[in-house]
Amino acid sequence: MKSLVELYHRFSQLIHELFKFGTIGVLASIVTLGVSNLLWHFLGSGPLTGSVIATVIATVIAFLGNRFWTFRHRDRTGLAREYFLFFVFNGIGLLIQLLCLGFTVYTLKLDGFWARNISNNVVGLGLGTLFRYWSYKKWVFLPPSEPPIDPHTGLPEADEANKPVAADGTVPRAGEMRSRLNGHPVAPDPEITPDR
């Protein structure tokens, strides 16, 4: 039981992210399913046209949900940039769906309610969703920025406002503060003289 708790803590951010992504995905899938079937069976739209229109509407909903809920903890790199890339990768996901639907309808000659829904809204949407999740994490919603690493200590560098200051008002050299904390005397650097 302890190992399951440790495993959960280790992957908790990924688990929460996947849950939120899945929730948004289910909502977008319901929109895709409803709109595509409305267009196909009630408005007489062609198979590919109905799928494209439904996917574009679902994409707008998915972008808003993923940006402001699923990946809200990630860096904001500009709404225009994120929106553009989101639509590019959704376009590729849509192409995956259309290939599945087109193969079923035009190559296998299986055209009907179940054939369209299984090929487009189950197989195509499933494969497209896997691609979308991977591409969003990789290129659209970037991980939070981390401070630069100090090459001398291997530790993250503090920003100027939070750098430690010695008693004489100078900023300690890399490793100097650690030596002071450990009780070791630090020889002054001959090249750096404090302003007096």
Mean pLDDT, 10 residues at a time, the chain of 196 residues: 73 80 89 91 88 88 87 77 86 90 92 88 87 86 68 64 54 51 52 51
The pTM is what?
0.56
pLDDT at 96: 94
Alpha-carbon span 126 to 153, nearest angstrom:
46
**CA dihedral defined by 125, 128, 129, 135, rounded to 10 degrees?**
-170
